[in-house]
Amino acid sequence: MPSFDIASEVDLQTLDNAVNTVKKEIMNRFDFRGSPVGIELDKKSYVISLEVESDMKMKQVIDVLISRAMKQGIDATAFDFSKDAYPSGKVVKKEVPVRNGLKQEDAKKIVKLIKDGGFKVQAAIMDDIIRVTGKKIDDLQEVIAKCRGAELGVPLQFVNMKS
């Protein structure tokens, strides 16, 4: 039976490349000359630590981060900007977690979306992926189209397609 997996993963090397590109661009910008800027990626916990002089510069760094990550192929929804920046001495700090893997509640939303769509497929949650199986590949492609069209707030990849 044909099947595929729905995953939500960020490649660590691609993320590292995007962060390094952001560092280079910020260091070369005229409006950041002489001001303290720190951009670090914690590879174990998938957290980007930003440290800049003011809130305005924080917004500029975030804009550059999103644009460079999208050029590298990372979806903008992979970054969780819900935490506010906090002042620490003369700088403003912000920690940006990167969503890696499907959380249980997100997986349940996706399975509910598939079941409510009336497709002739079965969806099963397996750790941080969802395996979708069906009798026809056309049914699976309809599920992929439905998931892409839905605003779920998490970046999705459709991998491991088998016929």
Q: Has residue 42 got a pLDDT over 90? A: yes
Mean of per-residue pLDDT scores for the chain: 90
> Per CATH, which fold does 3-8+101-162 belong to?
Alpha-Beta Plaits (3.30.70)
Q: Which two tokens stand for residue 32?
A: 């950041």
Confidence at residue 52, expressed as pLDDT on a 0 to 100 scale: 92
Are domains 3-8+101-162 and 12-97 of this chain identical in fold?
Answer: yes
Contact 10, 48 (CB under 8 A): no
pLDDT (0 to 100) of residue 67: 94
* d(C-alpha 163, C-alpha 58), whole Å: 47
- Reported as a single tens digit per residue, the pLDDT across 89-143 is 889 999 999 988 888 888 999 999 889 888 899 999 988 889 999 998 888 899 9
pTM of the model: 0.82
DSSP SS3 for 122: strand
Give the DSSP H/E element, type plus range, for residue 145.
Answer: helix 137-149
Distances (CA, A) of 112 to 5, 129, 141, 150: 16, 14, 17, 12
Which sequence spans correspond to the domains of the chain? 3-8+101-162, 12-97
Which pLDDT value is given to residue 18? 93
Q: Residues 145, 136: contact at Cβ < 8 Å?
A: no
Homologous superfamily of domain range 12-97:
YajQ-like, domain 2 (3.30.70.990)
Q: Is the pLDDT of residue 21 over 90?
A: yes
pLDDT at position 131 is: 92
